[in-house]
Structure 1
Amino acid sequence: MSMFPNAQNFRVDNMHLHPFQHVYNAQDSQIDGWKMLLDNVASNALHDSSARFDAPKCDEDTRVEVTKELMDWIQDHEAPQRLLCMTGAAGAGKSALQQTIAEECSDSNTLGSAFFFSAGDPTRNNLTYIVPTIACQLGLHHSALRNTIAKAIEKNPLIFKKKMRVQMETLVVGPFKHVCASGELDRSTFLHAILIDGLDECSGEENQAELLSTIKHCLLGDPDLPFRVAIASRPEWAIRSALCSEPEGYLYQLAYHIPLSDKYDATADIRRYLWRKIQDIGRRSHDRRAHSSLWPTEEDIEKLVAAASGQFVYAATVVKYVSERRGSPVDRLKAIIDWTPEGGQQTRPLELLDILYRNILSNAKELYEGVDTNRGRDFLLLVRAHQDDLHEHELADIVKSYFDKWKERYKGDGFPKWVWD
């Protein structure tokens, strides 16, 4: 028999008993806002993430002028434009510049957050994680801000399902203003640089436009916010239409625009990069021919510089291929020179980069089929099916998607490191 036959609702310590309900502990019902935030962060998108090991960055003595311009803008708190948009074609070196700037800002204690989009990574090819990732990085710099962000999530645990503008106001703007108003944070000394790379790799032009609109309305609209946002992207529709002068885009007056390919000629930097890297490869090679002061020749370097047409991606691909340790750098460089047509830039943008990719893959085909127990698989078939109307970045995406499928099968056996890079 029950000791309390008429009891309906009472409390013992932290235990609540209600009619027709299970018994539960009050402490178990607490929401941990910071833990929820961590569950919605794209750690792969951080500038120092292990997933981005050996991320591209500017080589010594290269891109000095544009790097200085970027850092000067970040450090100038009085500059009226608090948004910087750096645009350039595929392979122009945007990501390398953003990585370099992120590291310099981190060293100088000005990096608030960084997010590197990537089309091939489901955690960083959409808008799902970008605001939580930015909020998390900002919160890690200041305990009071971190606690305020956590409380905002505990108050509204469905925030991660809300529109981006609501997320930005709830997780970034609101908590920052609250902590500043309480006197716990000095906005003038807070780490203020927010870097976003590869906006064009965020899937969907509408999503790209939504991010730009959110930044405009949430981070640029309030003069009391200290944030300076630097975005790098190919000049595709979302950012091109926002920055255009006629008709005037909604970011035209607000953004400091650096058209990378137009403003900075990278030819001299590419020349220095190729000389330094290839000579260094030669010094470390077991091929005695590579130790000669006559290798590489000036003619070889100039032919590669002309083929690069101002795009660092071409030079970086050459260096990766020549540095592959299973072959002679002398032979590999000669192969690239032989593959390179005379006459420099072709009629289609970056056509010589496509030619380089195709020849590297064709040359690698024999190696891959040599370790394949099921002969007859032509892994260039997919590329050939598209090459008539293929853009350079589409070719790279197709190649990557193919090798992703084959990586697990071969476990890296017999595959040069540059393939996975």
Structure 2
Amino acid sequence: MDVPKAATLPQISQGGDFFQNARDFQIGNLNQANIGQNQYNIDQRTNVELQNVIGQQIGQVLVRQGSTGLLDMLDPIPDASYTRNRKTSPPDSSCLPGTREDVLKKVTSWADNSLLGWNNRHVMWLYGYVGCGKSAIAQEVAEHYARKKRLAASFFFFRGSGDRSRSGRFAATVASQVAGAIPSTYRFIEANVKTHPGLLWPSTSLIAQFKHLVYDPIKSVKWDLVGSNILRGPYVVVIDGLDECEDRDDIASFIDQMLAFFKKNPRIPLRILITSRVEEHIRTRLDPTRVELVNLVNHTTLDDITTAFRALFALATKHNRSIQCYGEWPTPADLEQLVLHTGRSFIFMSTLAKFILDPERAWIESGTLASAMVQTIFEK
């Protein structure tokens, strides 16, 4: 069915007719708009903010009218974002309190950086060998910007996990989140899906899907009228484990397209954080003159490992009276030895802690440590 007229977003201008053709809201006076049950002061809101509010209302109207929802058409992967159940949909990683503060500060400083700077890099590549904490940082960054209402999308690739290890539904999943985070993109995404019936077919290229589902809709938003959006900071997309996607050629094309998009649109308020191991099809395309590069190994300190160990042992002590009887445990000397044995690897630290605190479970999961050790040797 055709999109109802309500889907045509009004432009803010002077006079009483600037909401011409709009439905499902009323104007109280020239300074206030009543949308649904909410009243908004136009003098205090930018055009884009009103478009976002009205876009949300239009989405609700379309659902009430029984139209096919955009979410149904996009059919996103349900367990690909930062909100997934990490126990059943790994990676099950998060930053322990007090750890990774140095690198998190570096990431947030980059993401919060003004769009008006001359040396403006829209993309950051956080790289390092397996077990150095890339996914934990990606999870923390996604949660941080979700709280700030600035997370446009997040996608966590994971090798051998079906759709999350392939590129086929990557763009549609990202687009579904962008439509929710930046509601003024909703109508553009929906229109492109309807205009290009084969856009979501498996045979359609990843480049075409990202162009019509993500980049063009974001570019269509009237960012030049933004006021508070620039003050609030750019939106952020988090893509974790890009190297774990099996479709290497698609990922290479995705990187080329992403950098070309930002080169043509340098003032788009969007940042993309990518984490991965160092793979040739990724490394050779991320030009250091256009991409912020962060070697996570250089930002992993023994203090981080020590803090993580202390947090895990403190939690175990809190729930185990037998451990409490020993007094201070482990001793400072024992803790120091444990830290030195990790080689500044968080996966080694986590596995050692499991062997100490839950040896039966640790033996079952010991393959994780062995695999990590082999991969780390070859990647260093």
Query: Is this a same-fold pair by TM over 0.5?
Result: yes
The TM-score with structure 1 as length reference comes to: 0.64
Task: Give the aligned partner of residue 391 of structure 1.
Answer: 374
1:171 equivalenced with 2:228 (yes/no) = no
Q: Taking structure 1 as reference, are residues 182 and 255 closer, same or farther at Cα in structure 2, changes over 3 Å only?
A: closer
Task: Give the aligned partner of residue 319 of structure 1.
Answer: 353
Q: Taking structure 1 as reference, are residues 184 and 135 closer, same or farther at Cα in structure 2, changes over 3 Å only?
A: farther
Q: Taking structure 1 as reference, are residues 300 and 197 closer, same or farther at Cα in structure 2, changes over 3 Å only?
A: same
Displacement, 1:210? 2.1
Q: Distance in 1 between matches of 2:310 and 2:189?
A: 49
1:116 equivalenced with 2:156 (yes/no) = yes
The TM-score with structure 2 as length reference comes to: 0.71
Q: Taking structure 1 as reference, are residues 220 and 229 closer, same or farther at Cα in structure 2, changes over 3 Å only?
A: farther
Q: Taking structure 1 as reference, are residues 62 and 392 closer, same or farther at Cα in structure 2, changes over 3 Å only?
A: same
Q: Taking structure 1 as reference, are residues 191 and 44 closer, same or farther at Cα in structure 2, changes over 3 Å only?
A: farther
Displacement, 1:177? 2.8
The structure whose RCO (Cα within 8 Å, separation 6+) is larger is: 2
Displacement, 1:306? 1.4
**2:138 aligns with one of 77, 98, 112:** 98
Q: Taking structure 1 as reference, are residues 361 and 52 closer, same or farther at Cα in structure 2, changes over 3 Å only?
A: closer
Structure 1 or 2, whichever has the larger Rg, is: 1
Residue 216 of structure 2 aligns to a residue whose secondary structure is: helix
Please give the residue correspondences for 1:184-263 in structure 2 after superposition, counting only pairs within 5 Å: 188=230, 192-243=235-286, 251-261=287-297, 263=298
Q: What are the superposed Cα offsets for residues 220-266 of structure 1, whole Å, 9 maximum, x if unpaired? A: 431242211110111121222224xxxxxxx22110000111x2132
Gaps of 5+ in 1: 1-29, 244-250, 325-331, 336-356, 365-379, 395-421
Indicate conservation of the 8 Å contact 2:150/2:181, yes or no. no
Task: Give the aligned partner of residue 38 of structure 1.
Answer: 74
1:292 equivalenced with 2:292 (yes/no) = no
Q: Taking structure 1 as reference, are residues 178 and 361 closer, same or farther at Cα in structure 2, changes over 3 Å only?
A: closer
Residue 84 of structure 1 aligns to a residue whose secondary structure is: strand
Displacement, 1:393? 7.7
Displacement, 1:61? 0.8
Displacement, 1:315? 1.1
Q: Distance in 2 between matches of 1:69 and 1:298?
A: 30
| Aligned amino acid, residue 215 of structure 1 | M
Indicate conservation of the 8 Å contact 1:37/1:136, yes or no. no
Task: Give the aligned partner of residue 264 of structure 1.
Answer: 299
Q: What are the superposed Cα offsets for residues 301-335 of structure 1, whole Å, 9 maximum, x if unpaired? A: 222211210111111122334443xxxxxxx4xx9
Indicate conservation of the 8 Å contact 1:145/1:176, yes or no. yes
**1:76 aligns with one of 100, 113, 119:** 113
Residue 231 of structure 1 aligns to a residue whose secondary structure is: strand
**1:283 aligns with one of 318, 337, 361:** 318
The number of equivalent residue pairs is 303
Task: Give the aligned partner of residue 363 of structure 2.
Answer: 360
1:65 equivalenced with 2:122 (yes/no) = no
Further displaced range: 219-228 or 270-279: 219-228
Further displaced range: 211-220 or 111-120: 211-220
Displacement, 1:192? 1.3
Q: Distance in 2 between matches of 1:35 and 1:200?
A: 27
| Aligned amino acid, residue 199 of structure 1 | L
Runs of 4+ in 1 over 6 A off after TM superposition: 181-187, 387-390
Indicate conservation of the 8 Å contact 1:282/1:291, yes or no. no
Q: Distance in 2 between matches of 1:255 and 1:52?
A: 29
Residue 207 of structure 1 aligns to a residue whose secondary structure is: helix
Indicate conservation of the 8 Å contact 2:223/2:268, yes or no. no
Q: Distance in 1 between matches of 2:313 and 2:244?
A: 31
Indicate conservation of the 8 Å contact 2:91/2:158, yes or no. no
Q: What are the superposed Cα offsets for residues 196-234 of structure 1, whole Å, 9 maximum, x if unpaired? A: 000111114323312211211234431242211110111
Task: Give the aligned partner of residue 24 of structure 2.
Answer: none
| Aligned amino acid, residue 313 of structure 1 | I
Q: Distance in 1 between matches of 2:188 and 2:247?
A: 32
Indicate conservation of the 8 Å contact 2:234/2:271, yes or no. no
Indicate conservation of the 8 Å contact 1:112/1:191, yes or no. no
Q: Taking structure 1 as reference, are residues 32 and 60 closer, same or farther at Cα in structure 2, changes over 3 Å only?
A: same
Indicate conservation of the 8 Å contact 1:277/1:319, yes or no. yes
1:303 equivalenced with 2:286 (yes/no) = no
Q: Taking structure 1 as reference, are residues 306 and 73 closer, same or farther at Cα in structure 2, changes over 3 Å only?
A: same
Residue 146 of structure 1 aligns to a residue whose secondary structure is: helix
CA RMSD of aligned residues (A): 3.3
Indicate conservation of the 8 Å contact 1:274/1:319, yes or no. yes
| Aligned amino acid, residue 137 of structure 2 | L
Task: Give the aligned partner of residue 350 of structure 1.
Answer: none
Q: What are the superposed Cα offsets for residues 368-408 of structure 1, whole Å, 9 maximum, x if unpaired? A: xxxxxxxxxxxx9xx9xxx89983489xxxxxxxxxxxxxx
Displacement, 1:114? 0.7
Q: Distance in 2 between matches of 1:388 and 1:103?
A: 29
Q: Taking structure 1 as reference, are residues 219 and 320 closer, same or farther at Cα in structure 2, changes over 3 Å only?
A: farther
Residue 292 of structure 2 aligns to a residue whose secondary structure is: strand
